[in-house]
Structure formats: structure tokens, C-alpha cells
Amino acid sequence: MLPKATTPWTPTEAAHLMRRAGFGGSPAEVARIHALGRVEAVEALLHPAENPSLAAPSWTRPERWREEGRERFEKMRELREAVPGMTEADREKARREANQQFQRTNRQRQAELAAWWFDRMRHSGSPLREKMVLFWHDHFATSAQKVRDAGLLFQQNELFRKHALGDFRQLTHAVLWDPAMMLYLDTQSSRKGKPNENFAREVMELFTLGEGNYTEQDIHEAARAFTGYKLDRRTGEVFHARRQWDGGEKTVFGKTANFDGDGLIDLLFEQDAAARHLPAKLWAYFVEDEPPAAVVKELGKTFRESGFRVDAVLREIFLSKVFYDPSVIRGQIKSPVQFLAQMCQELEIDGLPDAYFASVSLQLGQVLFMPPNVAGWDWGRAWINTNTLLSRYNVAGVVTTGSADGSADARGTRGGEEAEEMMMAGAEQGQGGRMLARLVQRSMRRWDGPDFETIAPRPLREDPEKLVDALVERFFQGDPGEKQRAAFIDYAQSKKGVIFTNHEVAELCHLMMSTPQYQLC
């Protein structure tokens, strides 16, 4: 077991836990977590009280999208057959138009699903669970570009939520039967005599064991075990077609048996590497990029002894001494989703307009339900380059100064200009981009933005130093450095004038969010 933290539990450490095990919080939320004490705070994250009011979009109800799937299948079947009065060219045109309408609806639903999930990250009452759903989405990566069915993506998202903190072995079994994964890795086309090796390779290399802990022969043989799994596109249901399954003996990791898919997954968890691979990834996700060998060994022991429970590993991480080391705190570059969610938490806003969230997700390089490949996103330094850093600064300007004072004049100032830059960037991406740009413009005009009267009460504005310290505590939960603090104070003093308006407060918030320190979690 890793050495436990024994130093006094501080608000800085509480804020660190909230950022890493969730998406940050307001000063009041940090104070609430701090008041629990370290152990109880960790347990509260591992055993959250869910918010039942966050209903998913109505089209996600299984009976509805399954009925739509049957209707779509029947319509396309009819158009493939001879229809009285229709030429072959007419039928082809009708098929193309029907498919285009389905794709339009699907893209709209995908965007709606991403916005719904972003809201869950912030309002579900279970930030660690949602942080783990994001982890699983990256670990068991599938993309809407290939799956092309928002209903199946929602189903997978709920699967990750159900198993987020539980038995990793059970989750891996469930992923074998997951329709979105079957489409993404072509499992549904794998049959006896013609096995597809995609799932066999990724379940070993990416999902359970890690590179170097299997042979190519292991993959060839394991692929035979994963034959015969079929997806009914009309209903989204998965079944095992025994006639298309290779029921012969396979030799994998030196064991010979007539493995099916579930039997092969059980065999994977008998390997030593299965206890090390996931804990190493969890350490990189929550703590630091390169997990020390000694840490992986200890966490691997906990993982196997707990029956591959994810919560057992996370509890040990969040109570460990090294998790609260000064070199770890504020040592991780925020992912775009973390950047946006944490900004909303700290500004105490309900969320971002859906169209704007879709636009900035694209600009910043992390669109939910669209990881770049089966290995997921590149994390850490890969999130930051000249363009994405400038986009982050622009986003901070739009979210703060763009709606300062809630007036049209304020929206037309710097924040409005930055919103226009974002929209122009979207418009350059063609017809879809121009449509998104128009939606962004309309949605931002109706958006109220932060309540600066709450964030910076009027009496606080009389003293620039106290105002800066309050905002520094809100956005950094620690010392940003004397030089940086002095720069904030100089800016606040220069803007104070006769009255420190909401617009000036917004500009000060924007300045803080446009610093290198704010990009760190």
C-alpha cells in the first residue's frame, strides 16, 4: 500500500482533490469538501449522492430509438425493392435523401448528447463518476464518425457510468457485448474462417495488458474466440451466433481450450500484466504522466486483491502522500473538457450555450464522442500549442467579458470580438461550420453569463488587493506567485476609477484565466 498523507488537511489540498477527482468548484464548494476531512472527502467522492433531475434527452429512451431503427430499416428495405411508379434512379435518390436525413438527425443528437454529458459533469452530484466516464470513453475509445448512431453512443456512455467505479473485469466483459464497440472495431463482421483481429488486438494492447505482454500468435488465436458476435441494427441488440463462432481449440498464453469471447477475457485477467496496466493509466490520469514502478507494483497488488475494483485503486491514490506533493499540485495541463467545466464551476454559471460548447470543443481539440483513434486522445502537453492556447484565452474572454453587465454595449466589446473570431474560425470549415457559427452567435446573445455581483460583491471592490486575493483564491486556490499577484493588483488599481463595474471585474477575471498557471490543474 502507498504511504498515506499525514500532513494537515488544508483548503489547498481539498481544492486539488476537487480538481483532479472532478472538475473543480466554487469557494463555497471547496470549503464544504474541506470541512469533511480528507478521508470523508474521498469517501464522499467514491459514494456520491446522484442528482435525479438530470434526465437524458427523450430520444435516448431505448424503446424510442429501437422503434426508429426498425422504421429506418423497413424504409430502406422498401426502397431497395421495386416500387410501382418509381424508376431505379428515383429509388436511389430517395435512399440517398433518407440516409442524409438520418445523418443530419444523428449529428444533431450527437451534439445534444455531448452538451447533456457536459452538464452532467457539473451538476450530477457525482463529479468523480463523470471524470471516470470520461476516462473510460478515452480508454475504450469509440467515435461517432464510425459508429454513426447517437443512441448507441448514449448506451455506451451509460454503460461506462454504471461500471465507472466498480469491477473492471465486469466492465471489460460488458464492452465485448457493447454495440458501439462492435461497430467501431468491426466485431460484428468477424466469423468462423474469417476472424477480424481488431478487438483481439486492442483488448490486449490498449484495454487490459499493455504492449509487450502478448504475442502476435496470441492475437491470431484470440481473434477466433471473438467470432460470431452479431449486432441487430434494427434493435441495437447483440447476440452470439454459434454457427459463426469458431468453436475449435485455441492456444492463448500457453493455455488450450475452445474459448469464446467471455472465456478469453477471463484468461486475460489471469495474466500478471492485467493487475498493472489499468492502475498505471489511472495514475497518469489523476496524478502524473509517468507512474513510478514502485507505485504501479503497490497499486497492482491492491487492484488484484480487491477483485479488480477501480474504487479500491482510486481510494489509495487519493489518500496517498504523493498525491498531495507540491510537485503534483497544479502540475497537470487541463484537458479542454476540464478547462471548460472548471471555468464554469469557478464562475458559478449553469453552463455554456450548447452551440458555443460544440464550437469551442472543436477549437480546443476535444470533441466528446469523437476521440481521434482507438488509442483515444493524446494528453498532457499535446493539449497545448500556439493555436489552442490562443483559443483558450479567447474563450475566457467570451465567457467573462462578453456578457459583462448583461448589456448589449458590454457584449459588443472585447468579448464580442473574441466570439466573432471563434465564429469566423468555424465558418472557415465550410457549410457545417457556417451553420454552427450562426447558432453560436444566436445562443451567445441570449446568454446571461457570470453573476459578477456574487463573484465580486461591491464592498470587496473598494480594495483592489482584497478583490485580487478573493479572485486568486477562486481561480487558483493557492499562491500564483508574488510577481503575478502584483500584476493583477496593478491591473485592478488601474481599472478602479470612480466605480469598479462588472465589466472591469470581468476583465480582471479574463486576465487571470489567460495566464499559464490557469492552464494547469
Choose the final residue of a domain: 394, 418, 445: 445
Instruction: Please give the share of the chain, as a percent, with pLDDT higher than 70.
Output: 90
pLDDT at 438: 64
pLDDT at 189 over 50: yes
Same domain assignment for residues 411 and 506 = no
Same domain assignment for residues 441 and 343 = yes
Residue 308 lies in a domain: no
Quick check: helix, strand or coil at residue 206? Answer: helix
Amino acid at 269: F
Residue 286 lies in a domain: no
Same domain assignment for residues 383 and 437 = yes
Supply the mean pLDDT for the chain: 90
Same domain assignment for residues 423 and 460 = no
Choose the final residue of a domain: 384, 415, 445: 445
pLDDT at 478: 87
Same domain assignment for residues 387 and 439 = yes
CB 11 within 8 A of CB 17: no
Residue with cell 473574441: 418
Same domain assignment for residues 358 and 458 = no
- Kindly give the residue spans of alpha helices, DSSP state H, lying in 269-413: 274-286, 293-305, 310-318, 336-347, 354-364, 386-399, 408-411
Q: What is the mean pLDDT of residues 501-505?
A: 92
- Kindly give the residue spans of alpha helices, DSSP state H, lying in 11-143: 11-20, 27-36, 38-46, 62-80, 88-123, 127-139
CA-atom Rg of the chain in angstroms: 25
Quick check: helix, strand or coil at residue 448? Answer: coil
Beta strands at 250-252 and 255-257: parallel, antiparallel or unpaired:
antiparallel
pLDDT at 434 over 70: no
Structural domain range at position 397:
336-445
- Domain total in the chain: 2
pLDDT, one tens digit per residue, over 165-185 is 999 999 999 999 999 999 999
pLDDT at 246: 98
Same domain assignment for residues 480 and 413 = no
Residue 438 lies in a domain: yes
Residue 461 lies in a domain: yes
In this structure, of 121-135, 242-256, 455-469, 490-504, the range with the lowest mean pLDDT score is 490-504
pLDDT, one tens digit per residue, over 288-304 is 999 999 999 999 999 99
Residue 480 lies in a domain: yes
pLDDT at 207: 98
pLDDT at 78: 73
pLDDT, one tens digit per residue, over 5-35 is 999 999 999 999 999 999 999 999 999 999 9
Q: What is the mean pLDDT of residues 333-358?
A: 94
Q: In the Cβ-directed half-sphere of 296, how many Cα atoms lie within 13 Å?
A: 16
Same domain assignment for residues 418 and 501 = no
Same domain assignment for residues 458 and 500 = yes
pLDDT, one tens digit per residue, over 405-426 is 443 333 333 444 444 444 444 4
Residue 356 lies in a domain: yes
Residue 499 lies in a domain: yes
pLDDT, one tens digit per residue, over 114-129 is 999 999 999 999 999 9
Residue 381 lies in a domain: yes
Query: Cell numbers at residue 126, please?
Result: 457525482
Rounded to whole angstroms, the Cα distance separating 208 from 118 reads: 28
pLDDT at 415: 43
pLDDT, one tens digit per residue, over 51-102 is 777 889 999 988 887 788 778 777 777 777 766 777 778 777 877 888 888 8
Same domain assignment for residues 426 and 352 = yes
Q: At 120, phi and psi to the nearest 5? A: -60, -40
Choose the final residue of a domain: 445, 476, 501: 445
- 297-327 burial, b if ≥16 CB within 10 A, otherwise e? ebbbebbbebebbbbbbbbbbbbbebbbeee
Same domain assignment for residues 421 and 460 = no
Q: What is the mean pLDDT of residues 189-197?
A: 97
pLDDT at 391 over 50: yes
Same domain assignment for residues 475 and 501 = yes
In this structure, of 130-144, 198-212, 305-319, 423-437, the range with the lowest mean pLDDT score is 423-437
pLDDT bracket for residue 435 (50, 70, 90): low
Rounded to whole angstroms, the Cα distance separating 53 from 342 reads: 21
